[in-house]
Amino acid sequence: MPLTDTHCHLEAEALAGDLAQVARHAVKQGVGRLVAVGVSPQAFAAQREAMDAVRAGGLPVLAAFGTHPWWADRVDPETAIEALDGLWSDDTGPEARERPMVAVGEVGLDFAVDIDADRQNALFVAQLDWAGAHGLPLILHERKSADRLLYWLRRHRHVGGVVHGFVGSVQQAEQFIEQGFFIGVGGAVTHPGAHRVRRMLRQLPLEALVLETDAPNQPGHAHRGERNLPGYLPENLDALARLRGVDADELALVLEGNVRRLFGLTEECHGT
Ligand SMILES: [Zn+2]
């Protein structure tokens, strides 16, 4: 069962120059598809170029575009929405053969950084509304902001998505799941010392989990201090399978079913 990496930043500098190689490595490791997530309108063109380079390496890629909360002090909600509108109506990119984007992200709130909370909220809610209007799920960034995110999501009950790289409490995870969200399992699951995260991941329903790397960020235990790669995704699968005491291949089947539900994909839709 080829795995889907539901979260990577392909235009990141740490991956520049050898994306075709990165793609071939991932395919060899059993990764069958990536979801490239956006960070700001200024980087969307570079993201699409990087996606093409990965496709040239033989790995299908689906697109998510959005403005990350770290850009809330530099990108107005209007600019973020104009960029999404532009991509939505652009049918020239290879991803347009299926859909211009399968999700809005990476968006959210980060109250661990010194960026004005009002600006973050305005940027997030504008993109949340846009996602709702276009029937797209969200790829959420959550840091010390679960309660506020849940507040907004409860007012937009028809919008689902995934909380990426979630390392909060079981109770918070359950509230996101109740709102129709999946929980993204990244490299944290491989760290033997990450007791709280591992305890949370032991308790959540498998039907609510999807895999991700967040490459080139957040490397797993075996790659501490290195850049993270989509090809390391199976290490997260194996760690989760051991944690849950289940067979990795059977777990992969469940998790890939979750990916299809999350992004509304059909069996044939493997990206371009
Ligand atoms: Zn990310």
For residues 16-44, give the mean pLDDT.
Answer: 96
Is the pLDDT at 68 greater than 60, yes or no? yes
pLDDT single digits (tens) 229-260: 999 999 999 999 999 999 999 999 999 999 99
Domain count across the chain: 1
Is the pLDDT at 91 greater than 80, yes or no? no
Could you tell me if residue 270 is inside a domain?
no
Q: Measured in Å, how far apart are the chain's first and last C-alpha atoms?
A: 18
CA–centroid distance, residue 151 to ligand 1 (Å) = 22
CA–centroid distance, residue 267 to ligand 1 (Å) = 26
- Cβ atoms of 6 and 210 within 8 Å: the answer is yes
CA–centroid distance, residue 39 to ligand 1 (Å) = 8
Exposure b/e, 46-69, CB count within 10 A at least 16 = b? bbbebbbbbbebebbbbbbbbbbb
CA–centroid distance, residue 167 to ligand 1 (Å) = 13
Could you tell me if residue 112 is inside a domain?
yes
Is the pLDDT at 268 greater than 80, yes or no? no
Element at 211 (helix H, strand E)? strand 209-211
Q: At what angle do helices 19-28 and 44-56 cross, to 10 degrees?
A: 50
Strand bridging mode 161-163 / 138-143? parallel
CA–centroid distance, residue 213 to ligand 1 (Å) = 9
CA–centroid distance, residue 7 to ligand 1 (Å) = 6
Rounded Cα distance, 91 and 96, in Å: 5
Rounded Cα distance, 88 and 127, in Å: 13
CA–centroid distance, residue 35 to ligand 1 (Å) = 11
DSSP conformational letter for 218: S
Q: Of 21, 14, 117, 10, whose CA–CA distance to 65 is shortest?
A: 10
Could you tell me if residue 127 is inside a domain?
yes
Could you tell me if residue 268 is inside a domain?
no
Could you tell me if residue 64 is inside a domain?
yes
CA–centroid distance, residue 149 to ligand 1 (Å) = 17
pLDDT of residue 89: 86
pLDDT single digits (tens) 127-184: 999 999 999 999 999 999 999 999 999 999 999 999 999 999 999 999 999 999 999 9
CA–centroid distance, residue 68 to ligand 1 (Å) = 9
**For residue 62, what pLDDT band results from cuts at 50, 70 and 90?**
very high
Q: What is the CATH number of the domain that holds 245?
A: 3.20.20.140
Could you tell me if residue 98 is inside a domain?
yes
Could you tell me if residue 90 is inside a domain?
yes
pLDDT of residue 206: 98
pLDDT of residue 24: 97
CA–centroid distance, residue 9 to ligand 1 (Å) = 6
The two tokens of residue 101 are: 């984007």
Print the domain residue range for 208. 3-263
Could you tell me if residue 34 is inside a domain?
yes
- Around ion ligand 1, which residues have CB less than 5 A away? 106, 214
Rounded Cα distance, 49 and 11, in Å: 8
Tell me if residue 98 falls in helix, strand or coil: coil
